[in-house]
Structure 1
């Protein structure tokens, strides 16, 4: 919320500088986000009145103006502004004046000069030249009460500062100038200006029939009729300036008055054109299919969850958010109806976001507005309307005040001992009592307790912690002791058989991958398509419509990163992510790190796309394939030996996908993206992906010492014919299980041969696997008999387990 310091000091004027006042507010929880001067520095600029304006003899667009600046002689100033005319009062920069700095950062100095042969003794200024606004259509015209020669800074009250507060939602009572002044008075002890709202004279008995059909929407509705109002009246300059310094532009007099009371007292109000209302008003929930054209020009459709104000024919306003165009006030309006209501915050919260806009009124009502002073505030707005838009024939009707469901003040008790424990500093009952009474709260003392009955403007005081917060706000957050937290800390020593997630990241980076970090909430479509998750965990309040569910797989996030980089012409993309996924799990219980009903394991996932390596003159441009990324997974898991078996995964190609297992337990998948998702993402090549359980990837066997044989190993090559369904893993597992009398045996596949036309040794559905057997005798030299025995044992095992036969 933005406001000028001068307006605040009208209600409460402590003997503090601007900076001290800002610090005091910040230390009380009302964070001052920015302090900004109303106008940049400039000097020797006064009010000037043009008393004569003649055409320049040597220029069609210039005039020679005689300007009264409060001296005995008029100044002769050459001016090219289109609105330079006799009688107007404008800012006049005297010779020697410094105007605000330009784009180069240097101040603009006014000198005595010659323009087309005529001497100019100063400069008449526009608002833009003084950096007061962006209006540069002509000279800045001042009101008739501006006295020639008066300093422009003094006349326009430019030596002022704009405060911008960043308020938390529980401080809605400070969303007004008077609300902030009430806080300043409590913090500094300076007197607070008392407000009075005298009743205006009632000159007409006209009333508008109003009923509240939804007490859970509106608890109180106050209003009155005003007839013969001058809606064409001009808003006073002082009100326009104050609204501008609150960030609100002037619209019309009636709208400006409504906005002024909202900033002054925190009370949003609305003004209807009385003659456009059909019958009476009904405050109710909307009905499905009803539409309303708003003041901003948008047409919205309401339903049973949106509050409205309707007449006998149609909806006229969105409750607590924005009025409708049908009953808006125009220059032809003569009779109006002014309303001030209390709307329940839960009935207003989130409604404007449904229609993709927000309003100052909605911002206040969804946080809470004082329900106890609607009539007093209505008197204030009525008086302003009479002062600014009143005519001799203007009359006011009696005030209607319908109360159906006003919040009840529930006493809240503060335990002084509890306050001291929460704050971490000693506080006495006298200190707590003083702090609460300074805030204008009704406090009753007990034995070590204080009981507060919250006033209507402090609807946020509901529990004991709210009162503790008020105490520390009055004491000042800067007075809290800097006490370090005390807690038992037990260092978690990672076992030697487990590596850290950082080591996994470093290993993948060493393989050429770059880490990405993505949101844990994703599109629901990804879960259905890429994870096969028909029932993802949905968010109650997603930050965006495309981030509505929690992810159960990291693959969708990596594909999004891939698409983002491809759209920016990246030719080669290798990325990985290490993060949580979220799964439903009925066995999960609430602990310090878990949530009942949900499992949140960590996974590591990677994606490779494009060339296997960067372009290099010494090697071919080979695109990454399944075996490349399989090799990366093997390198990541080494020295553990992973097993790969054909599998199916919703995101992967049905014939190019493998399940990754360790010691017979599946830990993830590796494969090529499914063709239909490749087409859906419009990818020129098929990316390769893997996703593994991080807990399994972290495991590492403890190294064990094994001496290197001093004797040379023996190699034997064999070729066996097996069925096409036999895998390399089956072959290696069978060879390693052969009985070799304690001799060391390793197997390396070095050739795969499949039948071709005319070949008689292999049948269709068979293949030949050539294997190199490497034998080592350990401490003894192998004899020919030992070698032959080991080879025969291997062949026997292959024949028995895999129905293999030796190839001739």
Structure 2
């Protein structure tokens, strides 16, 4: 809500400076978001009168103007290129030595004596843009009223030092969406007198009435209107009204539109003016019918359903109720007869429609919060008086006001307990203090023993519960007056368990591995859930912010792939990203608590994606694409010092043969694998990324460090090469080694795998190759065993015994045999 200070002070003029007034409003809950003058500083700009205009001898687009600036001397010779420079108008004139507001380059403009194409110029005639009153380019010179005093400083004449207030209002302060509403608050806060607007009735000179039928009383509770005939179609909006609208952030359109907007900013009453000659028959206020169409004032054509209120005539829909008028009955430069409408639209009947139809307006903003239903007739009188004064002719005549009161809100009394107010606000309060605060707001009330009962006035839609009245008391007391009371409850820091690290540590570990964190929405396209999670029944949003973001995610893979696609579109060759976020799963055992929602499990997960070369471009190593084992190593490093196991598995998003389930202490905690070829193709990826997703709770676990003495005896290493079938996995080998591990075993590492070359076409390898001793379907694995003892140096006998135990266990469990040669 933006408005000029001068307009506010016409209704209420407290003895406060501008800054004090802004502070008072802010401390009462009406936050002053911005405070600035109407125009930036400028000097030596005065009112000038163009006395003569001649064509420039050397330039077709320039004119030489003779300008009187009221200095009693000769006229100033000023060269001007504005298309509206003509004899007789008064315009701002910057004298030699004047400084105009900063231009686009940020530097102030200084006017000096100069020449344009050989003709001397003793100043400059100014447009509204050059004074920073407007950003429009094509308006030409700023034309002033004919009564403007010659030579008067333009800042004084146009009141350019007037301050513009911009308030950031919360939705419950709908009664402050007008200058008069804010003045009412200032009067309550400061005790200054409030000038109540008067609404003298305009005498009806004709008996004409427009038939209006209201069939939806849950949409419209009151409908008032009047006919006005024989207006001047060539009238113009007066300068004072254009300036006030501009200072409220509203562009001047046409006199009738400007009058409607002016009353909305003045009194908070949105209204609509129809061109009477364009209305077919009478008006019908109803809910729309599915499929009906309407072309709005902004030119957009929309299709309606049965949940939008409309005003229709006998042929078509003419207006969106409480939001925007239609183009078919809009007033124009030929309009001579009008119908003025002011209605009360139920807030619930308007709320959300502007957003759904993509036509947000000031009217809809006010009606969905609540507009006073008791003053429709008075506001029509105000509009009629302005229309008659600005657009009237000797033949102008208005009809009687047709006022239909159908379904007005009935205010329900609200009781305030003084003790409860003191407890909530946090300071001692007496009943008299509460009563004084509510009386200053002109709230009708009845006092009882320790309590006050208020009947909300018609303009206060926000007063429905006791807490609303408590807030009003706090606002009137002033938030800056509330005592700073430290909390009484004891507070003790909660130390994190030593066996658990923080999510920040996980983020730091992944960042150290070269991954960058991303933050994504938790709602995703339904297609992602079906394809990447095989989830045909995802949790749906009741009111999605966009049609393609309609369900809650059950995996983080889709979000990471979207980030990858975004980066690839911008020519990124190497991408490493991760996310810590929630997923949403159906779970019947989850109950409603302060942190949970019944039927929905919301665990945190950590997921990562790697794409492109394994290393950044360098000279020391050949470029090699990332593979499964690179990301598996990142997962192992992330879980360290805990040791994870990996087993072949399947996942809807991952490659059937390049996917592993991650196990920690025998419990599955996630997956790692290459993206499924089908989804790689649908996402149009040049190569397959490798992804992982783990339960965050499992990743946060860590072993508590324990003291171990440094080994006093040197460890020994022995290599063991065995031949096994191709089906035997690394996990099978390690499991067998662990079962056979004697007390001297410290570690076992697989460091080499050998497979014989496949036979060429037409060749047969029925017998084992004599050089390798490997038959088809076999492979050779080389293990390095590290042995040590804390008691004494190992003898060759103990070493051989330990190695033989491992070989025997491998033979029993996997069918391995020692490799010959």
TM bin (shorter chain): over 0.9
SS in 1 for 2:173: helix
Instruction: Name 2:323's counterpart in structure 1.
Output: 321
Matches of 1:256 and 1:219, distance apart in 2: 26
SS in 1 for 2:218: coil
Instruction: Name 1:86's counterpart in structure 2.
Output: 87
Is this contact kept in 2: 1:589–1:597, CA < 8 A?
yes
Aligned pairs for 1:127-526 within 5 A: 127-133=128-134, 134-135=136-137, 138-526=140-528
Question: Do the aligned partners of residues 572 and 94 (structure 1) sit closer, same or farther apart at CA in structure 2, a change above 3 Å counting?
Answer: closer
Instruction: Name 1:683's counterpart in structure 2.
Output: 685
Instruction: Name 1:21's counterpart in structure 2.
Output: 21
Could you tell me how far 1:83 is from its partner in structure 2? 3.4
Cα shift readout 1:562-616 (whole Å, capped 9, x = no counterpart) = 2222223222222222232222222223344333332222222111111212222
Matches of 2:541 and 2:487, distance apart in 1: 33
Could you tell me how far 1:136 is from its partner in structure 2? 5.7
Is this contact kept in 2: 1:709–1:779, CA < 8 A?
no
Is this contact kept in 2: 1:170–1:367, CA < 8 A?
yes
Matches of 2:89 and 2:380, distance apart in 1: 38
Cα shift readout 1:653-681 (whole Å, capped 9, x = no counterpart) = 11110000012110110011111222222
Instruction: Name 1:124's counterpart in structure 2.
Output: 125
Matches of 1:531 and 1:684, distance apart in 2: 22
Cα shift readout 1:233-266 (whole Å, capped 9, x = no counterpart) = 2111111111111111111111111111111111
Could you tell me how far 1:547 is from its partner in structure 2? 3.8
Is this contact kept in 1: 2:79–2:119, CA < 8 A?
no
Could you tell me how far 1:7 is from its partner in structure 2? 0.9
Cα shift readout 1:460-512 (whole Å, capped 9, x = no counterpart) = 11111111111111111111112233434343323332223233223223322
Could you tell me how far 1:87 is from its partner in structure 2? 2.0
Question: Do the aligned partners of residues 255 and 748 (structure 1) sit closer, same or farther apart at CA in structure 2, a change above 3 Å counting?
Answer: same
The gaps in structure 2 that reach 5 residues or longer are 760-764, 769-773
Counterpart selection for 2:601 from 583, 599, 617: 599
Is this contact kept in 1: 2:745–2:785, CA < 8 A?
no
Could you tell me how far 1:648 is from its partner in structure 2? 1.1
Is this contact kept in 1: 2:516–2:576, CA < 8 A?
yes
Matches of 1:53 and 1:792, distance apart in 2: 114
Matches of 2:512 and 2:156, distance apart in 1: 68
Matches of 2:101 and 2:590, distance apart in 1: 66
Is this contact kept in 2: 1:75–1:121, CA < 8 A?
no
Is this contact kept in 2: 1:126–1:136, CA < 8 A?
no
Matches of 2:808 and 2:705, distance apart in 1: 33
The two structures have a TM-score, normalised by structure 1, of: 0.94
Could you tell me how far 1:11 is from its partner in structure 2? 0.8
SS in 1 for 2:740: coil
Matches of 1:104 and 1:639, distance apart in 2: 59
Matches of 2:517 and 2:61, distance apart in 1: 64
Cα shift readout 1:300-357 (whole Å, capped 9, x = no counterpart) = 0000111111122211111111111111122333322111111111211121212223
Instruction: Name 1:39's counterpart in structure 2.
Output: 39
Matches of 1:775 and 1:152, distance apart in 2: 96
Instruction: Name 2:751's counterpart in structure 1.
Output: 750
Could you tell me how far 1:784 is from its partner in structure 2? 5.8
Segment of structure 1 superposing worse, 709-718 or 77-86: 709-718
Question: Do the aligned partners of residues 658 and 131 (structure 1) sit closer, same or farther apart at CA in structure 2, a change above 3 Å counting?
Answer: same
Instruction: Name 2:100's counterpart in structure 1.
Output: 99
Is this contact kept in 1: 2:576–2:608, CA < 8 A?
yes
Could you tell me how far 1:744 is from its partner in structure 2? 2.8
Question: Do the aligned partners of residues 20 and 704 (structure 1) sit closer, same or farther apart at CA in structure 2, a change above 3 Å counting?
Answer: closer
Cα shift readout 1:276-306 (whole Å, capped 9, x = no counterpart) = 2222222111111111111111110000111
Instruction: Name 2:771's counterpart in structure 1.
Output: none
Question: Do the aligned partners of residues 303 and 63 (structure 1) sit closer, same or farther apart at CA in structure 2, a change above 3 Å counting?
Answer: closer
Could you tell me how far 1:432 is from its partner in structure 2? 1.1
Question: Do the aligned partners of residues 731 and 177 (structure 1) sit closer, same or farther apart at CA in structure 2, a change above 3 Å counting?
Answer: same
Matches of 2:594 and 2:292, distance apart in 1: 48
Matches of 1:705 and 1:76, distance apart in 2: 95
Is this contact kept in 1: 2:614–2:624, CA < 8 A?
yes
Could you tell me how far 1:807 is from its partner in structure 2? 4.6
Cα shift readout 1:193-221 (whole Å, capped 9, x = no counterpart) = 12221221112222222122222211111
CA root-mean-square deviation: 2.5
Is this contact kept in 1: 2:79–2:120, CA < 8 A?
no
Could you tell me how far 1:3 is from its partner in structure 2? 1.0
SS in 1 for 2:172: helix
Is this contact kept in 2: 1:271–1:336, CA < 8 A?
yes
Could you tell me how far 1:414 is from its partner in structure 2? 0.8
Matches of 1:71 and 1:791, distance apart in 2: 114
SS in 2 for 1:259: helix
Question: Do the aligned partners of residues 709 and 416 (structure 1) sit closer, same or farther apart at CA in structure 2, a change above 3 Å counting?
Answer: closer
Is this contact kept in 2: 1:76–1:119, CA < 8 A?
no
Matches of 1:540 and 1:382, distance apart in 2: 45
Cα shift readout 1:107-150 (whole Å, capped 9, x = no counterpart) = 54555566677665544333333333344654322222223333
The gaps in structure 1 that reach 5 residues or longer are none
Instruction: Name 2:810's counterpart in structure 1.
Output: 798
Matches of 2:741 and 2:110, distance apart in 1: 101
Question: Do the aligned partners of residues 802 and 54 (structure 1) sit closer, same or farther apart at CA in structure 2, a change above 3 Å counting?
Answer: closer
Cα shift readout 1:383-436 (whole Å, capped 9, x = no counterpart) = 111111222222212211122221111111111111111111112211111111
SS in 1 for 2:91: strand
Segment of structure 1 superposing worse, 669-678 or 503-512: 503-512
Matches of 1:659 and 1:479, distance apart in 2: 61
Could you tell me how far 1:693 is from its partner in structure 2? 1.0
SS in 2 for 1:170: coil
Question: Do the aligned partners of residues 66 and 733 (structure 1) sit closer, same or farther apart at CA in structure 2, a change above 3 Å counting?
Answer: closer
Is this contact kept in 1: 2:80–2:124, CA < 8 A?
no
Aligned pairs for 1:570-609 within 5 A: 570-609=572-611
Is this contact kept in 1: 2:577–2:610, CA < 8 A?
yes
Matches of 2:725 and 2:61, distance apart in 1: 99
Aligned pairs for 1:776-795 within 5 A: 776=788, 778-779=790-791, 786-787=798-799, 789-795=801-807
Matches of 1:796 and 1:365, distance apart in 2: 85
Matches of 1:776 and 1:67, distance apart in 2: 106
Question: Do the aligned partners of residues 55 and 693 (structure 1) sit closer, same or farther apart at CA in structure 2, a change above 3 Å counting?
Answer: closer
Question: Do the aligned partners of residues 725 and 215 (structure 1) sit closer, same or farther apart at CA in structure 2, a change above 3 Å counting?
Answer: farther
SS in 1 for 2:34: strand
Question: Do the aligned partners of residues 701 and 388 (structure 1) sit closer, same or farther apart at CA in structure 2, a change above 3 Å counting?
Answer: same
Matches of 1:643 and 1:118, distance apart in 2: 90
Question: Do the aligned partners of residues 807 and 126 (structure 1) sit closer, same or farther apart at CA in structure 2, a change above 3 Å counting?
Answer: closer
1:636 aligns with 2:643: no
1:760 aligns with 2:770: no
Segment of structure 1 superposing worse, 680-689 or 70-79: 70-79
Question: Do the aligned partners of residues 750 and 280 (structure 1) sit closer, same or farther apart at CA in structure 2, a change above 3 Å counting?
Answer: same
Matches of 1:109 and 1:256, distance apart in 2: 36
Matches of 2:161 and 2:488, distance apart in 1: 49
Could you tell me how far 1:183 is from its partner in structure 2? 0.6
